[in-house]
Amino acid sequence: MKSRISISLLGLFMLLAFHKGWAQQNNDAEIAILVQRMKAAYKSRPLSFDVRYTYSNELTPNILLDSLNGKVYMNGSDYRYQFDGTETVHIKDYHILIFREDKLLYLGKAVQDTVSESPLQQLLDALHQQGIRSCDLIRDKQYTTIRMIFQEGLLYRRLEMRVENNSGLLSQVKYLVKTSMLASPGTNPDGQKDYEEYASVVADFYHYQLLLVGNTLFDEHHFFVRSGNMVSLAPAYKDYKIFIATPNF
């Protein structure tokens, strides 16, 4: 299930921005302030950080069934994240997917505010349908946690986002989701003894560091070179196959 427990960070930030779904909550103003502070913390300076995802059944959260580790680099609206043999790069004009095992590089035009399909995009849709039963803020000296409980029958039961008070950065995201949402394409975990109806996914964000200004992480020429209508791969990917995903690229 590794390919499905990876959470789109852009989807998460759009989820956080969509606080109109909480309009009837008594603490809506406090949540809106926290969300805006969090967004500003990520956009105000270039950052790198590590992410670890773990997956377990809802009733046995201490027994891990899967895990995934990755690295994220962000600079304003540009981002680059690496998980196992897959890398996603979004820069001003281009969106790039790299599959190292298959030696494939997908190249397309960037679309403003594009959110890749992910569990949190599905959650955004649930918010839009006013599926939240309750939303609370829990504070201590180090963290503030947003806790959402969803109506019965939805794909999601619960979501928690823990934010560091000093930095405004995410520390952890936890959510309960139907296991079928995490299954790899072509598989069906329903009825299998190892899987319960709902799964627990935990994402830990740590090792935050400032990126050096002027680095080449978001330089398109590191991946490909364009001359008129011709596109060729940069030396680092010379043995890869390129697939142009956008018509009239």
Q: For residue 220, which of 82, 104, 78, 113 has the smallest C-alpha distance?
A: 78
Q: Nearest Cα to 161, choosing from 149, 152, 171?
A: 171
Q: Is the dihedral of CA 216, 218, 219, 222 positive or negative?
A: positive
Q: Which residue has the tokens 């995009």?
A: 121
| CA torsion angle 140 205 175 149 (round to 10) | 30
Q: Read off the pLDDT of residues 25-49 as tens digits, 9 standing for 90 and up.
A: 556 677 778 877 888 888 888 999 9
In this structure, what token pair is assigned to residue 170?
């995410």
For residue range 207-240, list pLDDT tens digits in order: 999 988 666 788 999 999 988 888 999 999 999 9
pLDDT at residue 168 in the model: 92
- Who contacts 108 (Cβ-Cβ below 8 Å, separation ≥6)? 94, 95, 96, 244, 245, 246, 249
Burial 3-32 (b: 16+ CB within 10 A, else e): ebbbbbbbbbbbbbeebebbeebeeeeebb
| Highest mean pLDDT pick, 22-26, 127-131, 238-242 | 238-242
Whole-structure pTM value: 0.79
pLDDT reading at 14 higher than 70: no
pLDDT for res 214: 66
The residue length of the chain stands at: 249
Q: By three-state DSSP, how is residue 120 classified? A: helix
Tell me, what's the pLDDT at 8? Answer: 46
Residue with tokens 């201590």: 140
Using 50, 70 and 90 to split pLDDT, how confident is the model at 57? very high
Task: Give the chain's domains with CATH numbers.
Answer: 2-244 (2.50.20.10)
Report d(CA 133, CA 145) in Å as an integer.
17
Q: What is the DSSP letter of 228?
A: T
Confidence class of residue 143 from pLDDT cuts 50, 70 and 90?
A: very high
Do residues 146 and 132 make contact, with C-beta atoms less than 8 angstroms apart?
no
pLDDT tops 80 at residue 182:
no
Average confidence (pLDDT) over 73-97: 88
160: nearest Cα among 138, 142, 180, 140? 138
